[in-house]
Amino acid sequence: MWKWTAALLLLVIAQPALSADFVGTVTAVADGDSFSMNASGEHIKIRLCGVDSPERGHPGFGKSAGELARLIENRQVRCVQVGLRTPCDGRSKSKSRDRYVAQCFIDKRDVAMEMVCAKATKDIERYSGGYYASCKR
C-alpha cells in the first residue's frame, strides 16, 4: 500500500503548477505588454495575454511602453494566469519563456483592454479569441 501512496505523491509533485493569481506592485515595465512585479516577496515577470505591442527598437515602442508604465508602474495589480478563466484560456500557453502569461487588472479595469483602448497595443485574436478586438470599458 505504501508503494501506491509514494507513487501517487511523486505524480502530484511532478505535475506542473496550476494556474495562479498574483497580486503585487509593478516594479518595471519592459514594453507595452510585459512587466515585472513583486508579489508575496517574489520577483515575477508577466506577459499580458491576448495582446501584442512593438518591441524595443520598433516604431511605437515608446508610446506603448510609456502608456503601460503610466497605467501600472508602482501600482498594485492583480494578474490571473492563463488557465484560470481568462480570455486566452485554451489559446495561449500559461508561460512564455520566464514570464507568466496572464490577464491583469488595476482596480477592476483590465490592463490589456485599457492598452487597446489607448491604441498602445493591439488584440491578437489567435490568443484572445477577439476579446480585445474592440475597446470595451
d(CA 109, CA 57): 29
- The secondary structure of 49-96 as a DSSP string is TTEE-PPTTSTTHHHHHHHHHHHHTTSEEEEEETTSS-TTTTTS-SEE
6 assigned to some structural domain: no
What CATH number should be reported for the domain holding residue 86? 2.40.50.90
54 assigned to some structural domain: yes
Contacts of residue 86, Cβ cutoff 8 Å, sequence gap at least 6: 49, 50, 80, 102, 103
User: 83-117: per-residue pLDDT in tens?
Assistant: 999 999 999 999 988 999 999 999 999 999 999 99
- DSSP at 18: P
95 assigned to some structural domain: yes
Q: How many domains does the chain have?
A: 1
Contacts of residue 64, Cβ cutoff 8 Å, sequence gap at least 6: 31, 32, 33, 53, 54, 115, 120, 121
User: 31-79: per-residue pLDDT in tens?
Assistant: 999 999 999 899 999 999 999 999 999 999 999 999 999 999 999 999 9
Model confidence at 11: pLDDT above 60: no
* Phi, psi dihedral angles at 55 (to 5 degrees): -80, 165
50 assigned to some structural domain: yes
60 assigned to some structural domain: yes
> Could you tell me the residue range of the domain that residue 87 belongs to?
17-128
User: 15-29: per-residue pLDDT in tens?
Assistant: 344 458 999 999 999
24 assigned to some structural domain: yes
76 assigned to some structural domain: yes
d(CA 106, CA 108): 6
69 assigned to some structural domain: yes
